[in-house]
């Protein structure tokens, strides 16, 4: 019975228990003796339990208040230390909170749809490309034959001209099949989503608006349902408005309309342009769905051996599919780097506190001797470190809020995610955890260490233990850890810098400087006519070329690195095998000269290449090399392997060869390119009609924008204009996330280097202080300053050396893990490693210089007097 009671007393702090435990037990025993029956005993226990619970909490609280008062006094007494400590923790916690909030937002948090783990994205897969858009008949067959999915929906990116009240506007959106919203299980904010009735070619045209577009174009007016709005030249009835946080499939989407595929197009099996999502049936695993899709695609290959040769399906979880691999690596690397900084910050603070505690060891030992006890000391030191880390945590949250917009630039704008908000519960919870962890991490070591000392040799303060002594070992290990962590960050920064340089040095295949790019949108049906298009092109091109400061101008279907489709299968008469693909673009004369792509053979597209003349093409060098290696490509012919598409099947003659352009992006493999004559595009859909105007200027392209706009407006006042930027901007956008990440990692590395330098400085200063008598004696015995300096530096260099080696070993693993970000730079890139070693040594030297000089000033006479 009494044992149970003494266990209960463990709720009190041990100092209180030591003082009053026996008496508390005594009182309880007396009362127990007075209790005469079971009910009274039970009542006594309940009372005792409540009493201990309440009073133990009060005693703990009293101690905490005392410790906090004491902490406040000590921290205020050393404002330099306090501010440094708060700043260091603030930076560490801030960096982590900010990177966490963005990593969590983009990578960890499930998609904002019910049961998101059942959502998948479907692609076609060829031996060369793991993810290719899907053709309409293949999608229909997949949908019909598969049983793994509850629903499957196709969608394709869409754009319309919306006239509204003022200037015609180009709107981006998505055409979707009726299952689209059901798969995602989202409800509209207003109205309804599509049903099967909205889907037919003859059905009334309906549209659903995004919340943002509804707000901006209609002022959020709820009368919008049932209203007619004009898209291109057609009237659409608004049937719904989506909620403000719905962005699928891409952030800029402003509308959704039914995906209507005309009957003839439903038969073309090798025109790939649809995307597809599906929801797995409950209980069906991803593997099972993949296996089923494999069977279905094998069956389709047997049925359509030519169009579906080696064509399979890729089934990926939607979440993984939405976030590009590079964005993933980018964010995880950054998160790792910020953890590294926090680790260094903790180590550094542990070291600072340890040094401070050693300075106070006399006081602490006295406190222990007068009965403060080990536990009270630990509590006191932990209160101190926790107070610092909580203050640091508050500073950290402020830093995170400020830093977040910067970090947000790492996330591609098109991801279907809401904006990152820093101060939500998850992020605050994380910041709190990190703060507490930090306080514990840098408080507990010094506390335990000091208690050990207090018990053993506290009062022998003057006992001379050298730097190699036991108590220094812990601090040395901490310094080694700091150096190692900053080496890892330095190597990573080095590798990322090299990778960025390498990517920036990639030849895009054109000269992007001084080229302005403007998107026009050729609204249908007017521009379905070749004659109308031609009139527009002639007027715009001739007038723009005549503007002062303009060197040349041209038009193309899609400017390089701005996306677009047009990946067509190619067949060459006389050559057998599976057709390979090329990227087609229609261009005007002067396009190559304008963007600075070399014409290496033959001639440019010309104005005399018209629909009725022989079909011509200018191809890229890799295209010529692929089909006619070691032959003159000029005069060779090829066509596109589309069935049921007479235009594609026309034979085309190669009239010129140009350099390859990385149209998919600097770091992506691009298919060989085929440029067709803009006047040879038949009447009909304008998807491939040149709409991107490029202008090379001899003056700042920004000065041209107004006059080029005016020319376009003059040619067609209803022509929407968008995406006005320079080709340089477009190319820089390719490396923007990289540069941003690099800047952050470099900032982290600099910070950690600084902290490690401080750590070495602190350790050596303390050690030199301790060894002053020894140095004094050495000087008295005739040692030169040089000898003293070398003694101190040897220590520093040894620690740094161990740190560097450890860091380099860890860096190898980190480097391999970052491989996808390194653009082919080796993880053991000698330049990065070399620079890191030099920088780390330089940091050591600068950190140890002052303590070393101080050691040479040890006064021999003072030392002898002191002894």
Binding site for another protein (CB under 8 A): 16, 19-20, 22-28, 30, 47-48, 51-52, 54-56, 58-59, 62
Please say which residue, 25 or 428, places its beta carbon nearer to another protein: 25
Identify which of 451, 433, 442, 441 has the alpha carbon closest to the alpha carbon of residue 396: 433
Q: How far is the CB of 13 from another protein (least distance, A)?
A: 10
The helix (H) or strand (E) run that includes residue 810 is helix 785-817
- Between 66 and 606, name the residue whose CB sits nearer to another protein: 66
Rank residues 15 and 615 by Cβ distance to another protein and give the closer one.
Answer: 15
Least separation in angstroms between residue 415's CB and another protein is 58
CB of 12 to another protein, least distance (A): 8
Residues 586, 618: Cα–Cα separation, whole Å: 10
How long a stretch of residues is the chain?
867
Cβ atoms of residues 654 and 635 within 8 Å: yes
Nearer to another protein, 132 or 372 (CB): 372
Burial 685-724 (b: 16+ CB within 10 A, else e): ebbbbbbbbbbbbeeebeebbeebeebbeebbeebbbeeb
Please say which residue, 15 or 237, places its beta carbon nearer to another protein: 15
Which one, 26 or 306, has the nearer CB to another protein? Answer: 26
Least Å distance, CB 31 to another protein, is 8
Strand 206-209, strand 134-135: pairing: unpaired
Specify the residue, 23 or 201, whose C-beta has the smaller distance to another protein. Answer: 23
Structure tokens that stand for 481 in this block: 């850890």
In the complex, the smallest distance separating the C-beta of residue 9 from another protein, rounded to whole angstroms, is 10
CB neighbourhood size of 104 (10 A): 17
DSSP structure string for 73-132: HHHHH-HHHHHHHHHHHHHHHHHHHHHHHHHIIIIISPPSSSSGGGEEEEEEE-SS-S-B
**495: helix, strand or coil:** helix
C-beta of 59 vs 444, nearer to another protein: 59
Rounded to a whole number of angstroms, the minimum distance from the CB of residue 40 to another protein is 13
Q: How many angstroms separate the Cα of 380 from the Cα of each of 64, 67, 199, 641? A: 8, 6, 72, 80
Nearer to another protein, 47 or 109 (CB): 47
Q: What is the DSSP letter of 205?
A: P
Name the residue nearer to another protein (CB basis): 26 or 456: 26
Interatomic CA distance for residues 466 and 229, integer angstroms:
85
Please report, to the nearest 10 degrees, the dihedral formed by the alpha carbons of residues 59, 61, 66, 69 taken in order: -170
d(CA 107, CA 327): 9
Cα separation of the two ends of the chain: 59
Instruction: Confirm if 555 and 527 have CB atoms less than 8 A apart.
Output: no
Read off the tokens for 575.
């050559």
Q: Is 571 helix (H, G, I), strand (E, B) or coil?
A: strand
Q: How far is the CB of 53 from another protein (least distance, A)?
A: 9
Residue 360 C-beta: closest distance to another protein, Å:
22
Residue whose C-alpha is closest to residue 487's, from 87, 832, 761 = 832
Q: How far is the CB of 27 from another protein (least distance, A)?
A: 4
CB atoms within 10 A of CB 430: 17
- Residue number with CB closer to another protein (379 or 778): 379
User: Smallest distance from the beta carbon of 859 to another protein, in angstroms?
Assistant: 45
| CB distance 701 to 695 below 8 Å | yes
DSSP string, 308-373: TTT-EEEEEEHHHHHS-HHHHHHHHHHHHHHHHHHHHHHHHHHHHHHHHHHHTHHHHHHHIIIIIH
Give whichever of 16 and 149 is closer to another protein, judged by the CB atom. 16
* Six-digit token string for 798: 């040894």
CB of 386 to another protein, least distance (A): 23
- For residues 207 and 241, what is the distance between their CA atoms, to the nearest angstrom? 9
Write down the least CB distance from residue 59 to another protein, Å.
6
User: Reduced to 3 DSSP states, what percent helix, strand and coil does the chain have, rounded to the nearest 5?
Assistant: 55, 15, 30
Q: CB atoms < 10 A from the CB of 833, how many?
A: 21
Nearer to another protein, 20 or 81 (CB): 20
Give me the least distance between CB of 76 and another protein, in Å please.
22
Closest CA to 435 of 398, 406, 397, 403: 397
Least distance in angstroms from the C-beta of 366 to another protein: 18
> CB-wise, 61 or 647, nearer to another protein?
61
| CB-nearer residue toward another protein: 21 or 112 | 21
Give the nearer residue to another protein in terms of CB position, either 54 or 813: 54
User: Are the C-beta atoms of residues 799 and 760 closer than 8 Å to each other?
Assistant: yes
Please, which residue, 62 or 700, has the CB nearer to another protein?
62
Compute the least distance from the CB of residue 68 to another protein, in Å: 16
Beta strands 580-587 and 234-241, pairing class: unpaired
Six-digit token pair at 23? 């008496």
- What minimum distance in Å lies between the beta carbon of 41 and another protein? 16
Mark residue 823 as left, alpha or beta (left: phi above 0; alpha: psi -120 to 50; beta: remaining).
left
Strand partners, 317: 120
Q: 79-103 vs 727-770: helix axis angle to the nearest 10?
A: 140
Nearest approach, Cβ of residue 37 and another protein (Å) = 18
């Amino acid at each position: 019975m009494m044992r149970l009671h003494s266990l209960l007393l463990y709720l009190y702090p041990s100092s209180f228990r030591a003082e009053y435990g026996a008496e508390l037990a005594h009182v309880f025993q007396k009362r127990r003796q007075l209790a005469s029956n079971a009910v009274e005993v039970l009542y006594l226990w309940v009372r005792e339990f409540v009493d201990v619970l309440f009073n133990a909490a009060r005693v703990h609280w009293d101690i905490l208040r005392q410790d906090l008062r004491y902490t406040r006094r000590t921290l205020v007494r050393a404002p330099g230390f306090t501010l440094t400590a708060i700043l260091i923790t603030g930076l560490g916690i801030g960096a982590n909170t900010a990177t966490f909030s963005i990593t969590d937002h983009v990578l960890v948090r499930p998609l904002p749809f019910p049961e998101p783990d059942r959502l998948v994205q479907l692609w076609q897969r060829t031996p060369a490309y793991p993810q290719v858009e899907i053709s309409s008949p293949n999608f229909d067959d997949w949908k019909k034959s598969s049983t793994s999915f509850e629903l499957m929906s196709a969608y394709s990116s869409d754009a319309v001209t919306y006239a509204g009240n003022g200037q015609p506007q180009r709107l981006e959106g998505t055409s979707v099949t009726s299952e689209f919203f059901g798969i995602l299980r989202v409800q509209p904010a207003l109205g309804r989503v599509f049903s099967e009735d909205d889907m037919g070619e003859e059905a009334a045209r309906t549209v659903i608006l995004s919340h943002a577009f509804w707000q901006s174009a209609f002022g959020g007016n709820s009368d919008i349902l049932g209203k007619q709005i004009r898209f291109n030249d057609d009237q659409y009835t608004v049937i719904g408005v989506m909620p403000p946080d719905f962005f699928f499939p891409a952030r800029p989407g402003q509308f959704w309309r039914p995906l209507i595929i005309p009957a003839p197009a439903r038969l073309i099996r090798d025109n790939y342009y649809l995307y597809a999502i599906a929801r797995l049936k409950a209980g069906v695993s991803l593997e099972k769905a993949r296996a089923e899709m494999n069977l279905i695609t094998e069956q389709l290959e047997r049925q359509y051996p030519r169009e579906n040769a080696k064509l399979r399906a890729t089934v990926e979880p939607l979440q993984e599919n939405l976030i590009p691999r590079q964005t993933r690596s980018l964010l995880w690397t950054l998160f790792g780097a910020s953890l590294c900084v926090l680790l260094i910050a903790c180590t550094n603070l542990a070291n600072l506190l340890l040094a401070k505690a050693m300075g106070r060891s006399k006081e602490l030992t006295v406190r222990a001797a007068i009965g403060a006890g080990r536990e009270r000391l630990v509590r006191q030191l932990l209160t101190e470190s926790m107070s610092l880390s909580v203050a640091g945590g508050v500073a950290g949250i402020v830093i995170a809020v400020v830093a977040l917009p910067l970090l947000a630039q790492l996330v591609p704008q098109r991801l279907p995610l809401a904006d990152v908000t820093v101060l939500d519960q998850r992020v605050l919870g994380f910041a709190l955890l990190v703060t507490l962890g930090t306080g514990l991490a840098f408080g507990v070591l010094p506390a335990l260490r000091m208690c050990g000392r207090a018990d053993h040799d506290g009062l022998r303060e003057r006992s001379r233990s050298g730097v190699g002594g036991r108590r220094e070992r812990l601090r040395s290990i901490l310094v080694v850890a700091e150096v190692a962590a900053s080496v890892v960050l330095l190597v990573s920064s080095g590798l990322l810098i090299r990778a960025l340089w390498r990517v920036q040095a990639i030849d895009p295949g054109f000269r992007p400087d001084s080229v302005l790019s403007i998107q026009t949108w050729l609204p249908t049906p007017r521009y379905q006519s070749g004659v109308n298009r031609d009139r527009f092109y002639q007027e715009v091109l001739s007038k723009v070329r005549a503007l002062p400061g303009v060197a040349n101008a041209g038009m193309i279907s899609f400017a390089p690195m701005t996306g677009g489709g047009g990946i067509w299968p190619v067949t060459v008469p006389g050559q057998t095998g599976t057709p390979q693909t090329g990227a087609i673009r229609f261009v005007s004369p002067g396009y190559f000269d304008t963007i600075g792509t070399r014409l290496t053979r033959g001639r440019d597209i010309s104005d005399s290449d018209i629909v009725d003349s022989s079909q011509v093409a200018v191809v890229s060098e890799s295209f010529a090399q692929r089909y006619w290696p070691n032959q003159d490509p000029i005069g060779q012919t090829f066509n596109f392997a589309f069935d049921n598409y007479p235009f594609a099947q026309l034979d085309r003659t190669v009239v010129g060869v140009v350099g390859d352009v990385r149209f998919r992006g600097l770091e992506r493999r691009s298919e060989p390119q085929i440029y067709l004559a803009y006047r040879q595009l038949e009447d009909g859909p304008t998807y491939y009609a040149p709409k991107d105007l490029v202008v090379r200027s001899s003056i700042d392209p920004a000065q041209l924008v107004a006059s080029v706009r005016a020319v376009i407006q003059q040619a067609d006042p209803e022509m929407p204009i968008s995406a006005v930027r320079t080709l340089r901007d477009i190319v820089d956008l390719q490396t923007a996330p990289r540069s941003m990440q690099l800047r952050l990692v470099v900032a982290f590395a600099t910070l950690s280097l600084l902290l490690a330098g401080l750590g070495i400085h602190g350790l050596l200063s303390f050690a030199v202080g301790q060894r002053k008598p020894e140095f004094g004696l050495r000087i008295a015995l005739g040692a030169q300053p040089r000898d003293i300096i070398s003694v101190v530096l040897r220590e520093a260099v040894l620690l740094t050396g161990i740190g560097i080696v450890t860091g380099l070993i860890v860096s190898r693993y980190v480097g391999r893990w970052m491989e996808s970000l390194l653009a082919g730079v080796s993880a053991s890139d000698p330049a990065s490693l070399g620079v890191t070693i030099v920088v780390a040594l330089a940091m050591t030297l600068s950190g140890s210089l002052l303590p070393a000089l101080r050691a040479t000033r040890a006064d021999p006479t003072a030392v002898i007097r002191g002894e």
